[in-house]
Amino acid sequence: MSSSLMSVTSLNTKIKSLLEATFMHILIEGEVASVTYHTSGHVYFSIKDKESAIKCVIFKSNANKLKFRMENGMHIVVEGSVGVYTPRGEYQFYAVHIEPYGQGALALAYEQLKEKLRAKGYFDSIRKKPIPKNIRKLALVTAKESAALYDMLKIIEKRWALVEVTIVDTLVQGEAAVSQITRALKYADTLNADVVILGRGGGSTEDLWCFNDENVADALYRMKTPVVSAIGHEVDVMISDFVADLRAPTPSAAIEMILPDAKEILFMLDDYAQRYKQILEQKLEQKRHLLKYFEEMFLRSSPSRYLGDFREDFKRLENEFYRAMQYKTERFQNMLPEFQKSFAYHMHFILRQKEQQCTSLERQLEIKNPALLCKKGWVQLSCDGELVEPESLTINQRFSLEDANVKIEAVCLSKKRYHS
C-alpha cells in the first residue's frame, strides 16, 4: 500500500489549511443568486459568473452592517475569505463586507428604501397633514447643543417670539442615533404641539444616514402632529424629507417657512388698518346720505305733517260748523216767537184733552168701585186666588170669603143645594 495513504478527514483538513491560508481577504465580483435571509440573521447566497458559481455566507454581525438589501441578479463585489467545512468536504466563501458593483452601498440602500416606502404609500400626498397657519407651540427634535438648534432659535426670536418652543434632545448621527430619533419623535408627538421640526445641520452622507433609516421613516409616518423635515443643506434629500408633511432645505428655512415675520405682520396690520379706515369712512358717508334721504322721506310722510294737515282741516271744518250753527241759531231765533205761540196753543189744547180724559176716568172708577158694587150681606168666594161659585165647593175644602172691607178663611163643613 502506498505510503501516501491519507484519511478523508486528514485530506479535508489539509485542503482547509491550504485554501484558507491562500485565499484570505480577497475580493470577488459576480452576480447574486439564491439569496436567503435566514431568521438567525445570517444571509446565504451564491455569487456566479457565466461559467461557474460559489456558495457564500455573511454572518449576522457583518450582515447587520449592510446598508442595502441583496437581491437575485444584483452585481456585487464581495470581500472575505474561502473556508472549508471539513465534515462534508465543502468549501464556501465567507463574506465580511459587500458593495454593489460600480455603485455605492449607501446610494443603493437609499434607492431600495425609497422604492419600498413609495410602494407602501409613505410618500402619498393625500396622507400629508397641512401645516397650521397660526402656530402657538413648536417642538424641535434635534441635538441640544447643535448649531442647527441655535440657528432655529435665533430666527424664531427674530421672526415670531410669541411661539412656545419645546426642545426634544436627541443624537443626530452615529449608530445610536436611529433609536434616539425614533423615541424623540414619538415623545414629541405627545406634546400637543402644532408642528414638530426634525432638524440637523449639514454633514457627509454617512453623518446624515440615520435620517434614511426605515425606523425613522416609520416613526414619521405614524405621527399625528404635522412634521417638517429639515436635514442638512438644500442639496441633501433624505428619506425623512419624503415621509414628512413638509420638507425644508435647512433648519433655518424651516422656521422661515412655517412662522410669520413679525415685521411683515405689523406692516400688514397697518395696511389693513388704513384700508379698514377708508372702507369705514366710505360706509359712513354712504350711511349719511342714506340717513338724509330717509329723513327727507320721513318728513314728507311723517305723522306730525299729517297731523298738521288734519289740524288745518279740522280748523277749517270747525269754522264752517260755527258759521252754520250761527246761521241756524239766527234763523231759529227769528222763528222762536212763532214756535212759542204755537207751542203754548198746542199745550193748552193737550191739557184740556187730558183734563177731560181724567174726569171721564174718575167717573168710571166711581162706577166700578167694588165698594159700591157690593150689597149688604153679599161676599165673594175664592179658592187659591180664583173666584168660585158656592155650588163648586166640596166638603172640607178651604176657601176665602171677601167683601170690600174683610177677608175670611173658611172650611166647607156641609153643603146643601136649593132647587128653584
Q: Minimum mean pLDDT among 137-146, 192-201, 372-381: which range?
A: 372-381
Average confidence score pLDDT of the chain: 85
- Which candidate, 396, 369, 393, places its Cα nearest to that of 382? 393
Q: Minimum mean pLDDT among 109-113, 330-334, 387-391, 396-400: which range?
A: 330-334
- Which candidate, 262, 243, 240, places its Cα nearest to that of 251? 240
Residue 331 has pLDDT above 80, yes or no: no
Complete edge-to-edge strand list for the sheet that includes strand 407-411: 386-387, 380-383, 398-402, 407-411
Which amino acid is located at 299 in the chain? L
Number of continuous H segments (helices) and E segments (strands) in the chain? 11, 14
Mean pLDDT score, 180-195:
96
Residue 119 has pLDDT above 70, yes or no: yes
Q: Minimum mean pLDDT among 29-43, 143-157, 169-183: which range?
A: 29-43
pLDDT at 388: 85
- Return phi, psi of residue 200, to 5°: -160, 145
Residue 373 has pLDDT above 60, yes or no: no
Looking from the CA of 163 toward its CB, the CA atoms found within 13 Å total 31
Residue 369 has pLDDT above 70, yes or no: no
Looking from the CA of 252 toward its CB, the CA atoms found within 13 Å total 12
Q: Using 50, 70 and 90 to split pLDDT, how confident is the model at 375?
A: low
Residue 151 has pLDDT above 60, yes or no: yes
pLDDT at 192: 95
Which amino acid is located at 280 in the chain? L
Q: Are the C-beta atoms of 70 and 48 separated by less than 8 Å?
A: no
Share of the chain above pLDDT 90, in %: 32
Residue 86 has pLDDT above 90, yes or no: no
Q: CA-CA distances (angstroms) from residue 267 to 96, 136, 163, 273, 278?
A: 63, 21, 19, 10, 17
Q: Using 50, 70 and 90 to split pLDDT, how confident is the model at 187?
A: very high
Cell of 50: 457565466
pLDDT at 418: 74
Q: Using 50, 70 and 90 to split pLDDT, how confident is the model at 413?
A: confident
Q: Using 50, 70 and 90 to split pLDDT, how confident is the model at 153?
A: very high
- Which candidate, 226, 208, 205, places its Cα nearest to that of 104? 205
3-state secondary structure of 80: strand
pLDDT at 328: 79
Interaxial angle between packed helices 105-119 and 214-222, expressed in degrees from 0 to 180 and rounded to the nearest 10: 30
Q: Which domains does the chain have, with CATH numbers?
A: 8-103 (2.40.50.140), 134-260 (3.40.50.280), 369-420 (no CATH)
Residue 420 has pLDDT above 60, yes or no: no
pLDDT at 117: 92
- Helix locations, 302-384, DSSP H: 303-367, 370-373
pLDDT at 65: 82
pLDDT at 346: 84
Q: pLDDT tens-digit profile of 56-72? A: 999 998 888 888 888 88
For the question of whether the overall pTM of this predicted structure is more than 0.85, the answer is: no
Residue 279 has pLDDT above 70, yes or no: yes
The DSSP code sequence of 202-253 is ---TTTTGGGG-HHHHHHHHH-SS-EEEEESSTT---HHHHHSSEE-SSHHH
Residue 18 has pLDDT above 70, yes or no: yes
Q: Using 50, 70 and 90 to split pLDDT, how confident is the model at 371?
A: low
Cell of 282: 366710505
Q: Using 50, 70 and 90 to split pLDDT, how confident is the model at 241?
A: very high
